[in-house]
Structure 1
Amino acid sequence: MKASAAAQRMLLDLADLDAELAKTAHGRKNLPEDAELADLATRLDAAREDVASSRVAVDDLAAVYEKFERELAGMTEHVARDKASIDAGTVGHKAVAELQRELESLERRRDDLEGEMLELMEQQEATATEADRAEATLLTLTENELELVAKRDKSAAAVNARTADLAERRTALTASIDADLVGIYEGLRGRGQVGAGLVQARRCGACRMELDPRTLSRIAAADEDEVLRCEECGAIMVRTNHSGLPGQGRPE
């Protein structure tokens, strides 16, 4: 196949664009903000669990306190009824003695219950403080997530703009190269190979394999518009005045 030396050299520019496009595609898939967001998501899950468990603890203690309040209210009413019966003098001596013993028992239980309620109030205060801390942590992490998402979106937009610019330049460049030459190049890329590489320092620029003297002589002897392919990787071997081929002297 024949193609001008200038067209073949343009393949190097195309290969550089494709390398840059691959780099930007990799960068888009591996934005540092995405890794940070993944880590933050784990911390948010833990924070949500802390908030949920602390709220349950607060509700459980509130339910116990309400139960104690009802019990205390019931005992207070019972004590009041017993005292009213004794004060009214409408019960016998034996019944009075039983009521007095019951009053003593109720008052001891009431004192114990009031002590338990004081301890429970301290637990409620500590649990409420922990719940507030958990909710504050969750709020902070949520705000961090919003900021990080905005930062990620900005980075992604920059990468997308860079990709669009490279793609536009690639389209313009391929349109200016011989279609058959581009077809070979694209066919190689479609198979996951490098399409073209500069022959330099006795190596194929695509696969980096060192070329033997016979091959180098064959390349040097070929017409400049001859499209040469690497025997190892099949890439188009682009030659310049600095390829270091026999007869060119030492490459600069």
Structure 2
Amino acid sequence: MKAEPAAQARLLDLQELDTQLERLDHRLRSLTEIAEAAQLKERVDAIDAELITAQTKASDVERHQRKAESDVDQVRSRADRDAKRLESGQITNAKELQNLQSEIESLGRRQAELEEVVLEVMEQAEGLSAEVARLTEEREAAVAKFTEVTARRDTAAAEIQWDRTRVAQDRERVSAEIPADLLALYDKLRAQYDGVAAAPLRYGRCNGCKLALSTVELNEIRATAADQIVRCEDCRRILVRTEESGLTAPVVE
């Protein structure tokens, strides 16, 4: 493959732009705010689950409390009616009076038992209410932190994306100056060799694999026409000859 030396030199500009794009993509993926936002989102979700459980328990206890209070009211009303009947003097039968007094005593014991239940349920309700309040406050703090971190993440990502758009535009302009067949080879090699397809030959060393070329290889490159595409024998990347290549004079074994 052949290409004008100027077009070959543009490969180095293109490689630099592609390297910048890879660095920007890495920066975008590596934003600390991404992981922090994900952790905070998990925390908010976990608090939501705890809050739903606490709210459900509080609702159940509230219903239980209303039922217990209703039972107390019913027993109290029944005891009040019986007490009024007893005090009215309308019942004169001794057996009936004894039964009524026994029922009033029984209702009194039942009322005391139910009132004890109400107190226990009220204590449960207070504890659950405090738990719901605590979780609600904790959720608000977590959501606020998540919102803050997300905003910082989005701002940082937008800045990186702006830089990426600018570099991508430069890449498009530079790639348009490179012959299609050379550009196709470059793109193919980039996919094969960790994103680095072209490297300068500097002082007898390939800057792609960082290995020094042998005397024979340097003499062969020196003898090669300037428009001939040269590849590194070790890493197979495109070698771009520069003023710093060290090819100004023949090398003698």
* TM-score (structure 1 length as normaliser): 0.87
User: Which string of whole-angstrom CA distances, capped at 9 and with x for unpartnered residues, describes residues 94-126 of structure 1?
Assistant: 121122122122212222322332232222122
1:221 equivalent to 2:223? Answer: yes
Alpha-carbon deviation of 1:73?
0.7
| Equivalent pair of 2:51/2:132 in contact (CA under 8 Å) | yes
Distance 1:53 1:183 in 2: 60
Alpha-carbon deviation of 1:210?
4.1
* Residue of structure 2 in register with 1:124 after alignment: 125
Alpha-carbon deviation of 1:248?
8.3
Alpha-carbon deviation of 1:180?
3.9
Alpha-carbon deviation of 1:93?
0.7
Distance 1:238 1:147 in 2: 48
Distance 1:183 1:89 in 2: 114
Distance 1:174 1:96 in 2: 110
- Residue of 200, 209, 217 corresponding to 1:207: 209
| Equivalent pair of 2:232/2:239 in contact (CA under 8 Å) | yes
* Residue of structure 2 in register with 1:67 after alignment: 67
Alpha-carbon deviation of 1:181?
3.1
Gaps of 5+ in 2: none
Distance 2:244 2:26 in 1: 32
* Residue of structure 2 in register with 1:101 after alignment: 102
* Residue of structure 2 in register with 1:234 after alignment: 236
Distance 1:243 1:96 in 2: 123
SS in 2 for 1:199: strand
Identity percentage of aligned residues: 34
* Residue of structure 1 in register with 2:45 after alignment: 45
RMSD of aligned residue pairs (Cα, Å) = 2.4
Distance 1:40 1:34 in 2: 10
Alpha-carbon deviation of 1:169?
0.7
Distance 1:106 1:40 in 2: 55
Alpha-carbon deviation of 1:29?
3.3
Gaps of 5+ in 1: none
Distance 1:183 1:111 in 2: 91
| Equivalent pair of 1:241/1:248 in contact (CA under 8 Å) | no
Q: How many residues align?
A: 249
* Residue of structure 2 in register with 1:16 after alignment: 16
* Residue of structure 1 in register with 2:186 after alignment: 185
| Equivalent pair of 1:2/1:226 in contact (CA under 8 Å) | yes
Alpha-carbon deviation of 1:191?
4.4
1:146-161 → structure 2 map (5 Å cutoff):
146-161=147-162
Distance 2:174 2:56 in 1: 65
Equivalent residue letter for 1:217:
N
Distance 1:200 1:84 in 2: 113
* Residue of structure 1 in register with 2:141 after alignment: 140
* TM-score (structure 2 length as normaliser): 0.87
Distance 1:111 1:190 in 2: 83
Distance 2:71 2:175 in 1: 87
1:89 equivalent to 2:89? Answer: yes
1:34 equivalent to 2:5? Answer: no
Alpha-carbon deviation of 1:4?
3.6
SS in 2 for 1:177: coil
Equivalent residue letter for 1:32:
T
